[in-house]
Amino acid sequence: MGMSAFRKMVSCVLLAIFPGSLLAADSGAAMLYTHGATWLNGAHVPTSSAIFTGDLVQTRSDSAANINAPGSSITVLGESLVQFEGASLKVEHGGVSVSTSKGVATTAGDVRVAPVSNAWTEFNVTDTDGTVKIAALKGDLSVTDDNGTVTLAQGQQTTRDEQTSDQSTDKDKKKNKKRADGAAPAAGGGILTSPVAIGIGTAAIAGVTIWVLTRTDNPVSPSQPQ
């Protein structure tokens, strides 16, 4: 069984046994609910799925997804690639809208955005073409980059450059952005990569090859090309 199919099976079992709130009680887990085409680690998510620390969520331009955890509700906006890190988020491309009473922080490049307190806080963070836009909708935010840390008061907005100096990180970001802008990725570790599917495909190719060779009037050789 492929990893994608296994994750789906586990998610279905957990959803059938436990309410989403109980499943998300683990600080390293939450529930993902989709609104349109959404992928989790490259695998398409039809409606909902459990999500764990380190998982990547990708949306199309006409879709969105919600991550629900105790004390926090996070919306992954359209055309975004976001890594869920339990108590924080990492925006590779696109944006998120965060509502939290648990101090959930968001990082985009070298810019880190976090609530000043554990009071209910709402904010938006978008990262497009190397520019990070931050809006404090409810509550104050702490914004940290290479220049230091400043407080963004409720109702204010600001922009920052990603300021990512590590070259390997830049390359990874370009790859992620290209993938987010392009076609949706195939399901990673799905049925097409399972040993059974590979065996069936190999047998089919061998069968077609034998059939072609036995049906050809002239042998295939350098002296008698087809």
State the average pLDDT over residues 18-34. Answer: 65
For the chain, the structural domain boundaries read 3-181, 194-226
**Tens-digit pLDDT profile for residues 73-101:** 999 999 999 999 999 999 999 999 999 99
What pTM value is reported for the model? Answer: 0.64
State the average pLDDT over residues 184-197. Answer: 42
**Tens-digit pLDDT profile for residues 204-217:** 454 544 444 445 44
State the residue for tokens 């810019």: 111
Q: Are 184 and 43 in contact (CB under 8 A)?
A: no
In this prediction, residue 63 carries a pLDDT of 97
CA distances from 168 to 165, 174, 219 (A): 9, 10, 52
* Fold (topology level) of 3-181: Jelly Rolls (2.60.120)
